[in-house]
Structure 1
Amino acid sequence: MIYVLALISIILGAIAQYLLKVGMNAIPLDSGKGIAFILKEAVTNIPLLGGLTCYGLSMIFWLYVLSQMELSKAYPMVSLGYVFAMLLGYFLLDESLNVYKIAGIILIISGVVFITKG
């Protein structure tokens, strides 16, 4: 069960990254309107706020995971967030996925499996 909660936390973190990316892409940072405009846009940006909310929820789950699991097993699992973020980018943002990225995904997953079994 604790591994499921860790995965929920990690997936929420990756979703947060996706939402932050979408939210920031919607804010015209080079508009020359100044920091007040950017801040106003940021606090009314639904994807950005959703990303921050996902981060908050992720942290709540993660704190519980840390209280129940060895740090040396829990923390390496965070690297799965790279995998989930890459897949979200590929499927939802039309980002590239090549043989090197796929090899990296395989290495990350293999490393997490070895560490959590050890």
Structure 2
Amino acid sequence: MQYVAALVSIILGAIAQYFLKMGVNVVSENSKSISEIIKSGITNLHLWSGLFCYGLSLLLWFYVLSKMELSKAYPLVSLGYVFTLILGYLFLNEAITVTKIAGIALIIVGVIVLTR
């Protein structure tokens, strides 16, 4: 169960990054001054959605840390790079290159080695 909770926590963190990216894009397009950036940021639903996802992720991560050794739990966090890459490709039209695929493979191998 703790691995499922860790995975959900990590996926929520990746989703939070997606929402923050969407929110920052809107804020930067519509804002010229510091006061406009603050106002736009406070009223931006994407930014709030990202913060909400981070909050849920943190609560799940508390559970994970209470059930797993830190040396096994923390390497799983690097899987967030994998999920973020996938979300960027699916929803932000970001490219997946051979270099990125190689990096993802190294991350996955590293996680497997470190969590055994």
Tell me the matched-pair count. 116
Q: Name the CA distance, whole Å, in 2 between partners of 1:66 and 1:89.
A: 28
8 Å contact from structure 1 (residues 10, 80) kept in 2: yes
| Structure 2 gap segments, 5+ residues each | none
For residues 42-100 of structure 1, the C-alpha deviation after alignment (integer angstroms, 9 at most, x for no partner) is: 11111110000000100000011011100000001000001100111111100010111
Instruction: State the Cα distance separating 1:30 from its structure 2 match.
Output: 7.8
User: What does residue 57 of structure 1 align with?
Assistant: 56
Q: Helix, strand or coil for the counterpart of 1:79?
A: helix
Paired residue for 1:38? 37
Q: Which runs of 5+ in 1 are unaligned?
A: none
Match of 1:67 in 2: 66
For residue 15 of structure 1, what is the aligned residue in structure 2?
A: 15
State the TM-score, normalizing by the size of structure 1: 0.93
The answer on whether the counterparts of 1:90 and 1:96 sit within 8 Å (CA) in structure 2 is yes
Assess if the C-alpha contact under 8 Å between 1:29 and 1:38 holds in 2.
Answer: no
Is residue 24–residue 48 contact of structure 1 (8 Å, CA) maintained in 2? yes
**Residue 4 of structure 1 pairs with residue 4 of structure 2:** yes
Q: Does the 8 Å contact 1:20/1:47 carry over to 2?
A: yes
- Provide TM-score, normalisation by structure 2: 0.95
How many Å separate the matches in 2 of 1:39 and 1:82? 28
Give the structure with the larger helix fraction: 2
Q: 2 CA distance for matches of 1:4 and 1:28?
A: 36
Separation of aligned partners in 2, 1:50 and 1:10: 16
Q: How many angstroms apart in 2 are the aligned matches of 1:11 and 1:30?
A: 29
Large movers: runs of 4+ above 3 Å: none
Q: CA RMSD in A?
A: 1.3
